[in-house]
Amino acid sequence: MIDLRAWLAGLDPTMLHLSTFGLLFLEGMGIPGIPGVLPMMAQVGLIDAGKTTLETTIFWGTMGNWLGSITGYAFGRWGGRFIPQRWQSRLESDQARDLLRRYGALTVVASRTIGALRTPVTLMAGAMRYPLVPYIILSLIGALIHIGLWQWVLWRFGMQVLPYLEKVGGRALAVTGALVALALLLRWRLARRRAAQEAAQES
C-alpha cells in the first residue's frame, strides 16, 4: 500500500515549485483539461513536512496562473490567425463577449476561477482588445484569489483526506484509471466523428 504522506514529503521542493508553475501557467493560458489541483495537492505534503510554506506555494501557483493568463490574452490579441479554422467557432463565445462588455473587470477576475469561462474569456479579452494594463492587474487579482483560496483549502483539509485515500489502495486507482482511459477514448472518437462531419459539410 502506498504511503502517500511519506511519498509527498519526499518530493523535491524546487522541482515541485517548477511543476506547479508550469501546469498552472498552461491552465492560466486557457488550455482545457490541465489538472492544476494536483501539484497544489502535492504542495500540501511539502508544507506538512516543513519543506515549504503556504505563502511560497501560493506565490508559485499565482505567478504561473497569472503569466499564463497574460500569454493567453496575447495569443488571442495577436496570434488569432494561428488558431486552426475549425476551432475558431468554439473559441468565439458570445457569452464571453457579452460578459466582458457588461461586467468587464468582474468577468476577468472570475474567469481565473471558473473553468468554463477561463478559455473563452482569456482569448476573447485579447481578441476584443480589452485594455492591456487593466487586464494584467485584474488577472493578477483573479489568479491570487483563485490559487490562494484553493491552496489554503487543500492545506487546511487536504491532509485529512490522505488516510482515506491510502485505505482505498491500488484497486480504486486502477478503476479510476480505467474510467479516465474510457472517457478519453470516447472523447477522441467523438472528436474524430465531429471532424469528419465538419469536413463533409465543408466539401
Give the closest residue to 30 by CA, choosing from 90, 135, 119, 130: 119
pLDDT for residue 4: 56
Cell of 158: 487536504
- Dist. CA 44–CA 53, nearest whole Å: 9
Separation of first and last alpha carbons in the chain: 55
- Dist. CA 130–CA 73, nearest whole Å: 9
pLDDT tens-digit profile, the chain (203 residues): 445 566 666 678 888 899 889 999 998 888 877 877 888 888 888 888 888 899 999 999 999 999 999 998 998 888 766 666 655 655 566 777 777 888 888 888 888 888 777 888 888 888 888 889 999 999 999 999 999 988 888 888 765 554 544 444 445 445 556 676 777 777 777 777 777 777 777 76
pLDDT for residue 166: 43
